[in-house]
Structure 1
């Protein structure tokens, strides 16, 4: 506790009751925030010195805070919907006491970020959050002023408290904006997915119906194939029976033909034997014919001799005449036999020729019968193979029919699932529509946003007014039409406001002018990029959300923090 007799000393000159503080943050963005607000271990020491004061008054501060908060209907509705006043009072008490722990580490940062996510979830807009801090300041500032009213350290104590709570506000609202923007971008993606789901659902229904129809046609075709296959099987079996009977008949006929060939060969041999015998008979007849001629000559000679003998030779002449007659008749009979033998030989020769020709024909027929038998055997074998293939086809057709029935059932299930998908996509679309139409409250211009320089505050109010027009358009679903107007305003705003603000900084020799101008230049590039993207691609939900985040971030982090430092400096210079 400060000694009251040491009136002109400073904080750094006096020891603290508890000097145990810790500032341990490695995250680059957090470190920048701490540096911008001049938060150091000295700041934590100052706040730790207030621990007893906060502990003694925290219950009264929290009660006064929630009496005012709960009297506002909008905030009351949020509290009643998402929590209870008792729970929130306990949470607020823990928060206020944590400001005097003297510790800022990653756990401290993450706890503030959780608050930002909760604010996004319960739809607590930033202006209400800023206003709540103003309510809290009105309870705490009087306590600090009363404690240090006679000390020159009052300004440092108030600045330490204000800087630390401003750091908390930055963490909370930065997380709120990121969470809100991420959710809006997800809504845009979900909206696209919903459209794709709807289109896919319709396509699936159409495909399922077409598939079902095709499956039915396939089933009908498979039934036709099965019937045709059954008829083909019956026909093939009949052909097989006929072919087998034909093969047996050909085999028997071939055996008969072989018998005929053998008989004809035997007949030919017999005919040749007859022909040879007739030739021998002809030779014998020729010999007898010669003997008859000789006998006839001898009878002629005997007649001549008997004539010469006269009476004595008359009897011999009679015998010679009878011998001559007998020889004549024999010769005549031999000639008739010879003619018959010649005729018989001619007939036998003709028969041999017929037999030879018939034999050749029979042999040719036998060869053809053998070829026909082989072909019939091949036909029977082919029919057996066809029957096996037809049997295989029948099995495959049965399987195909079963698969067609399963596919038809599956197609019906797909159609039902597609219908369910359409229902889900419609439900999703409705939920998206309900979510998209959650209203965003316009930004209320509060003292927290004022920098205390009228010409700067006036231009800042113009930006807030234009941003509110955009928020109203967003609530009415007309934000895409308002984007072009907002971009035109920003281009003019950049030229006029930045020039005026930078002129004031130069006029009063603001020490951080160069860094401030760099921030302005970077924002100019950001707006130019939005303009180029707008001119090239037009506007979509993602574009709108990104631009809204940029403007909210500029409002919360630049105007209320960076520009406020400029305002303090200009007011101090003008006051002198």
Structure 2
């Protein structure tokens, strides 16, 4: 069934028509007696209660049937006025153009309005209204436009009645019956709107619920897998942290031992510095002794030179004595013997002096080499003393660094212990998260 937009619009006042009829048809007379019996629709308990509340009875049904010729005469004006006001609303015009045409909808509206006054209020009447509501809902017609048009349509009906009917009592009855009919239409359509909204919301809820359930399931499974993986990683991290802590303790012990060895090395260096200082002092003393020895050798050399000169003079004197003994002849024989002995002694003295001079020269050379060696030893001793001091300072620096490192290692070990405690806490929290994920998964299954 196409949407008739049966409750849209704002009909304008009807223009004057050449065929104006007062309500004096033979079907309805001013003295017409209404049937006030209760209207009952089979199988519609709730709707029957609604009919009872608005006092819509058999007399109203009969009156609607008798009003149909009057409505039929004015139907074109009612429909044209209706759609003229509808097309003035741009949103409603867009809905009409999107889903149908104005001419088709006018024809549908004519049939619908005449059917309202057919006098057949039964299950088919109700189903038609429900279908109309579904169509309105499907095309996006909001209830506010339906209600606005409904009021305007009611005004059009009432204006037609006032223009057609002159009997006041009958006029009042028709107005009441028409308003009851339109009220029933409103109830049926709005209820259908509400049910359709509820159905859509339920479908949307089911869709969202299923999607949420799927996402929760996926999320809980991923969360559970992540929790398990995190738990394994935490266990491995705890194990690694314990190994690191053990290694730090070993490093601390090694650093402590190294520190002790470094202190021993520092003590040995101090002793070595003392020994090197003693060597330096002894070397200086030896250098002084060698210098004194050189001075003594120089003095011996002077003595040797003096002895050589004396030996030369003695030899010359011996030669002169031999000459004089030769001149003396026999009287000088004894003196000649003495001269020869003196000459011999002079030669021996000279030879001895030459040997002494050689020994003194050799001793001077050795003393020179000793002096040079002592100077080299002193230089090495000074360099060794300097290096020993530098090594001592280096050992002191090493000891201070090792002391600081040992303190840092102790501090780091405490921090590692705190980290292990924290990691174990994370592991416990991860296990709780895994349990929560499992519970979340069970809840999603029961959604």
Normalising by structure 1, we get a TM-score of 0.48
Structure-2 change in CA distance of 1:321 and 1:150 (3 Å): closer
Pair 132,173 (structure 1): closer, same or farther in 2 beyond 3 Å = farther
> Contact 1:33/1:167 (CA < 8 Å) preserved in 2?
no
Could you tell me whether the CA contact under 8 Å between 2:308 and 2:350 is conserved in 1? yes
Which position in structure 1 is the counterpart of 2:367? 348
- Residue in 2 that maps onto 1:199: 218
Question: Partners of 2:171 and 2:8 in 1: how far apart?
Answer: 27
Question: Which residue does the alignment assign to 1:157?
Answer: 176
2:305 aligned to which of 286, 291, 294 = 286
Q: Deviations over 1:539-568 (max 9, x none)?
A: xxxxxxxxxxxxxxxxxxxxxxxxxxxxxx
> SS at the partner of 1:292?
helix
Say if 1:135 and 1:164 are closer, same or farther in 2 by CA, change over 3 A.
Answer: closer
Cα deviation 1:204-250 (Å, max 9, x = unaligned): 11111111111111111111111111011101111111122112212
Counterpart in the other structure of 2:433: 414
Equivalent-residue separation in structure 1 for 2:379 and 2:225 (angstroms): 77
Q: Is the 8 A contact 2:283 2:374 kept in 1?
A: yes
Is this contact kept in 1: 2:51–2:57, CA < 8 A?
no
Q: In 2, are the aligned partners of 1:34 and 1:167 still within 8 Å (CA)?
A: no
Once residues 261 and 139 of structure 1 are traced to their aligned partners in structure 2, the CA distance between those partners, rounded to angstroms, is: 138
Aligned counterparts of 1:151 and 1:271: Cα–Cα separation in 2? 164
Give the CA deviation at 1:189. Answer: 1.0
Of 412, 415, 430, 1:396 maps to 415
Matching residue within 191, 195, 198 for 1:176: 195
What is the rounded CA distance, in whole Å, between the counterparts of 1:409 and 1:283 in structure 2? 103
Does the 8 Å CA contact 2:283/2:378 hold for their aligned counterparts?
yes
Shift of 1:174: 2.1
Q: Match for residue 15 of structure 1?
A: none
Q: Once structures 1 and 2 are overlaid, which stretch shifts more, 225-234 or 174-183?
A: 174-183
Does residue 227 in structure 1 map to residue 246 in structure 2? yes
Looking at structure 2, the residues matched to 348 and 151 of structure 1 have their Cα atoms a distance apart, in angstroms, of: 165
Report the secondary structure of 1:269's partner residue. helix
Q: Does 1:379 align with 2:404?
A: no
Q: Is the 8 A contact 1:145 1:154 kept in 2?
A: no
Number of matched pairs: 315
- Partner Cα separation in structure 2 for residue 339 and residue 318 of structure 1: 31
Question: Is 1:273 aligned with 2:292?
Answer: yes
**1:387/1:409 Cα in 2 relative to 1: closer, same or farther (>3 Å)?**
same
Q: TM-score, normalised by structure 2?
A: 0.60
Separation of aligned partners in 1, 2:199 and 2:322: 171
Q: Following the alignment from structure 2 to structure 1, what is the Cα–Cα distance between the partners of residues 321 and 216? A: 148
Computing the radius of gyration from Cα coordinates, the structure with the larger value is 2
Quote the Cα distance in structure 1 between the aligned partners of 2:179 and 2:366. Answer: 155
Relative distance call for 1:154 and 1:277 in structure 2 (3 A) is: same
Q: 2:365 & 2:388 partners in 1: Cα distance?
A: 34
Q: Which runs of 5+ in 1 are unaligned?
A: 1-31, 39-60, 73-126, 429-576
CA contact (8 A) 1:141 1:158 kept: no
Matches within 5 A, 1:76-475: 129-130=46-47, 132-134=49-51, 140-142=57-59, 151=170, 153-309=172-328, 320=339, 323-428=342-447
Following superposition, the deviation at residue 391 of structure 1 comes to 2.4
Counterpart position of 1:495 = none
Deviations 1:39-87 (A, max 9, x none): xxxxxxxxxxxxxxxxxxxxxx9xx99xx99x97xxxxxxxxxxxxxxx
Trace 1:49-68 onto structure 2 (pairs within 5 A): none
- Following TM superposition, by how much is the alpha carbon of 1:159 offset from its aligned partner in structure 2, in angstroms? 1.2
Note closer, same or farther for the CA distance 1:288–1:318 as it changes in structure 2 (3 Å cut).
same
Partners of 2:8 and 2:432 lie apart in 1 by 58
Q: How far is the alpha carbon of 1:145 from its aligned partner? A: 8.7
CA distance in 2, matches of 1:134, 1:341: 160
RMSD of aligned Cα (Å): 3.6
Q: 1:365 to 1:402 in 2, by over 3 A?
A: same
Contact 1:299 1:321 in 2 (8 A): yes
Structure 2 CA distance for aligned equivalents of residues 151 and 371 of structure 1: 132
- Do the aligned partners of residues 160 and 253 (structure 1) sit closer, same or farther apart at CA in structure 2, a change above 3 Å counting? same
Quick one: distance in 2 between partners of 1:393 and 1:260?
47
CA distance in 2, matches of 1:322, 1:181: 161
Q: CA deviation at 1:370?
A: 4.0
